[in-house]
Structure 1
């Protein structure tokens, strides 16, 4: 069973046991296989829950050995906003009667990762940019949107530096 299948099985089992619908957008490392990026080992599931019981999912995952960061609004995880429209740009990667799994557009995923900006986040963002052939100009549009939509805060200055480093590295690798 590959990594994608393991993630799917875990979430399928949850909806079977709960008999309630679950709709989520995967936003962390567990989303990487859906971008055709080699999965890196992680025991946490980061997701925006669009439908379903966050608390039940949290404790279910915990019982299976997974930590999770779950929210109704992942934009709120940082002073740096997600670019408006990210939910509408998300793509369904799996759908059944009770379970809908989405991922962010590759560009939104990159912005999501750069908001935190650890070395691992930047590597994940670069890997997605490479496999999905993300264009700098498409990222720049979202970057400008983020600058406009985020509150003015010192975190924004760091985000600008992280974005510049990311773009520099992206252009070197192309």
Structure 2
């Protein structure tokens, strides 16, 4: 076997192993969602496009933002799938993101510590800055005209686990 054939067969083997692990990756992503008691955080008639509402969930000291983006978003709810909620602490060093929502770009940030910006249309992923983790997204449900928080996807900065039992 030549060196070229060896490298090619090794690359194919690694690719096949990687493809076989995709179902496991989906299960791992689902493990990052922690369920909490259902909490009403807003109502559809009171929600205006581009005007964020602050709320605390799942604990009194965890600050979040609820916003109707006006464009479809990952994890969005509602008729247009444009209503989302995210934690307001930067995942890099916990910098406060309160008051940094930019309606024209549907982003949260920049973080005052290291200028990280998060895209709210794509599950809160990092668009620039030092953070390497997306913002924790609050799982939402709508019943009649009420908006409820029912869980958190991701780990809020400063917490060792997102469970129904508080661990800091």
Q: Same fold (TM over 0.5)?
A: no
More helix by share: 1
Higher relative strand content: 2
Larger Rg: 2
TM-score calculated relative to the size of structure 1? 0.29
TM-score under structure 2 length normalisation: 0.30
